[in-house]
Amino acid sequence: MSQNSNKKTIDKNFKLMAVSATILVILFTYTLYNNTASVQSSLYYLGIGVLLLLLFLLIKLNKDKLYKYFNQYKTNSFDSLQDQKLKSNSTNDDLNINIQAVSSNVTFKDIAGISEIKEELEEVVDFLNEPKKYLKHGVKLPKGVLLIGPPGVGKTLIARAVAGEADVPFFYQSGASFVQIYVGMGAKKVRELFKTAKQNAPAIIFIDEIDAVGKRRSGTSNDERESTLNELLTQMDGFEGDSGVIVIAATNKVEVLDEALLRAGRFDRRLHVGLPNIDDREKILELYLNEKNHEINIRQLSVDTTGFSSAALATLINEALLNMIKRDSKILDSDDIEIAKNKLEFGKKQIKILDEKQKEILSIYQASKAFISKNKVALFDESVEKLNTTYPSYHELIENIRRDLAGFIGVEVIKKEKYAINHKDLENADKIANEIVNKYKMATSVEELLNNVKNDLRADLSHNSSEINRLKEIMIKNEVITLNDI
C-alpha cells in the first residue's frame, strides 16, 4: 500500500515539474519572438526566477524518490550482472566467515550409552591433551576417525564431546557446505578449513554427512564435487599425525564413500555407533530425566522404547514435558509419555516401534546370525561381521553367504514361515554368489549355489534350534548378544 502511495506522489510531482518546465519554455519562446520589450522588464525576470525556484525545490525535495523512480527502468541484463557479482562476493565472504572455531562445552558425562565408543576415543583425547607422552615413543595421532551409524544416534554429539574433553577448538562443517555451484569454491573452502585448523592446533575438524562430498568417483566426469573430494584427500595427506589436527567425520552411508577416502592413512579408525540397547536407553533416559520431577519407571520405559535412537528419546521426553505443561502439572507421568509416544509413532515412521511379536521375530533373526557367525550382534544391527581377506577362498566366500542368509533361514526354521525382514542381507548374498560364479568361476550356477547354502543352514539351525531359542531370549532381554553369550 505504501509503495503504491509513493509511486502516485512521484507521478504527481513529476507531472507538475513537467507542466512548469513546459510553461517556462512557452513563455520564453513567446516573449522572445513576439514582444522583445517585455524581456527587458523586471516582471519577466521575476517570473522566470519563480519558475526556476519552483523547479529547483521540486527536484531537491524529491531527489531520493526520483532516483528510485528512474532506477526501476534499468535493463534486466544489468540487474542480472549485478546480482551475479553480489552472489560471488557473498560466496567469497562466506568462505572466510563460516570457518570459525567454536568451544565445545559437551563432555563424555553428557552422553550416555556409548561406553565402547568412549573407550576408543579416550586415547584420542589423551593425545590431544598430552601429545608429548606419545610423540617421545614415535606414536602419531590417527589422522581421521569415521563415525558410522544411523541418523540420530549422536555422532555429532560424540565429536563435540571429544573436543570438550580435550578442550581444543572445534571446526564444524557439513559435507553439503563444500558442494558449491561455483567452480573451485568447494576446494577453496576445504583449503581454508585445514589452514585455519592448523593455525589453531591442537584442533578437531568435524565433517558431518561426509557422503555428500565423499561419494565414490565415477572417473567419467570432473565436476565440482569430485574436485572438492580430491582437495580433501590432498589435505588429509598433507598433515602429519603430530600436527595436532584430527579429522572426525560422520556418515550413515559408508558403502557409497570413495575407496581412497577409506584407505589407511586417512580415516584410520572406523567406529560403528548403533542404536542403543535396553541398558543404553536406561542410562540415556536417566540423563534426560535428571533433576526433573517425574513418576516414570525408567527401566520399563527403556523396555518400551525399542528402536529409539538417543535423539528420538530426547524428543520423547521433550514432547512429554510439553504435554505436562499443557495439562498444568508439575510432575511428569506415564500418561505424558504415552501421548508423546503416539506422536512419535505416527509422526516419524522411521522409528522402529516394535510390538512383542515383531521383537521376537527380529530377535530370532539376529540370534541366528550370531550363532552362525560367532560374533556380537545387536537387535538393530543391519549386518554382521564378515570374513575379510585379500585373497578369499571358496569356503570363506560361502561362509559370508551363510552369515547373510542365517537370519532368514533361522526365522523360517523356528517360526515355520518365511518373513520379509532385511532385504540388504539377501542382496549381499546374491552379490557374493554372482562373484563366485561369474567373476571367479568357482561354480556354475548362482541359483544352485544359493540353494545348497540354504539347505545346509536349515539342517544346521534345525539341529541347534534350542540354542537359537536360548540366544533369542537373551536378545529380547538385553537387545544384544555378546561373545560370552554364544
Q: Give per-residue pLDDT as tens, 119-144.
A: 888 888 888 888 788 878 877 777 88
> Does residue 101 belong to any structural domain of this protein?
no
Mean pLDDT of the chain: 78
Q: Strand locations in 83-223, DSSP E?
A: 144-148, 170-174, 203-208
- What is the per-residue burial (b if ≥16 Cβ within 10 Å, else e) of 183-212? eebbbbbbeebbebbbebbbbbbbbbbbbb
327 in the same domain as 373: no
Question: Residues 376, 316: one domain?
Answer: no
> What does the pLDDT average to over 373-378?
90
Residues 314 and 246 in one domain: no
CB 411 within 8 A of CB 418: yes
Among residues 225, 255, 272, which one ends one of the domains?
272
pLDDT score of 410: 94
What CATH number does the domain containing 328 carry?
A: 1.10.8.60
- Same domain? For 364 and 328 the reply is no
Q: Could you tell me the pLDDT band of residue 86, with boundaries at 50, 70 and 90?
A: very low
Q: What average pLDDT does the segment 408-434 reach?
A: 92
What range defines the domain where residue 181 resides? 108-272
Asked whether the predicted pLDDT for residue 241 surpasses 80, the reply is no
Asked, for residue 87, whether it belongs to a domain, the answer is no
Residue 125's pLDDT is 85
Residue 96 in domain: no
Any residues with CB less than 8 A from the CB of 157 and at least 6 apart, and which?
106, 110, 111, 310
Q: Detail the DSSP E strand segments found in 355-401.
A: 377-378
- On the 0-12 / 13-18 / 19+ scale of CB atoms within 10 A, 426 is middle
One domain for residues 247 and 128: yes
Least reliable range by pLDDT among 126-140, 373-387, 447-461: 126-140
- pLDDT exceeds 90 at position 362: yes
The predicted structure's pLDDT at residue 68: 55
Which of 218, 238, 272 corresponds to the end of one domain? 272
Q: 331 and 409: one domain?
A: no
Lowest mean pLDDT among 128-137, 183-192, 345-354, 375-384: 345-354
Q: Is residue 97 part of a domain?
A: no
DSSP symbol at 177: G
| Three-state DSSP state, 106 | coil
State the pLDDT confidence band at 87, using cuts at 50, 70 and 90: very low
Q: Which of 100-109, 122-131, 149-158 is predicted least confidently?
A: 100-109
pLDDT at position 239: 66
CATH number at residue 466: 1.20.58.760
6-15, 48-57, 108-117, 255-264: the lowest-pLDDT one: 6-15
Q: Is residue 84 part of a domain?
A: no
| 400 domain residue, yes or no | yes
Q: Which of 464, 379, 478 is nearest to 422 (CA)?
A: 379
Give yes or no: residues 265 and 282 share one domain. no
Regarding whether 373 and 399 lie in a shared domain, the answer is yes
Q: Are residues 63 and 29 in the same domain?
A: yes
Give the CATH number for residue 162.
3.40.50.300
Q: What is the count of structural domains for the chain?
A: 4
Q: Give the per-residue pLDDT at 259.
A: 83
* Mean pLDDT along residues 214-225: 67
Q: Which pLDDT belongs to residue 59?
A: 67
Question: Which position has the higher pLDDT, 95 or 467?
Answer: 467
- CA separation for the pair 366, 347 (Å, rounded): 28
Q: When comparing pLDDT for 337 and 102, which is higher?
A: 337
Same domain, 409 and 432: yes
Residue 94's pLDDT is what? 46
Least Cα distance to 448 among 434, 460, 458, 461 occurs for 434
What is the model's pLDDT at position 433?
94
Q: Are residues 179 and 293 in the same domain?
A: no
| Pair (284, 268) in one structural domain | no
Of 222-226, 350-354, 394-398, minimum mean pLDDT range: 350-354
Q: Is residue 50 part of a domain?
A: yes
Out of 26-35, 70-79, 106-115, pick the least confident: 70-79
- 88 pLDDT tier (thresholds 50, 70, 90): very low
| Residue that terminates a domain, selected from 347, 378, 397 | 347
Say yes or no to pLDDT of 211 above 70: yes
Q: What percent of the chain has pLDDT over 90?
A: 21
Q: Is residue 85 in some structural domain? A: no
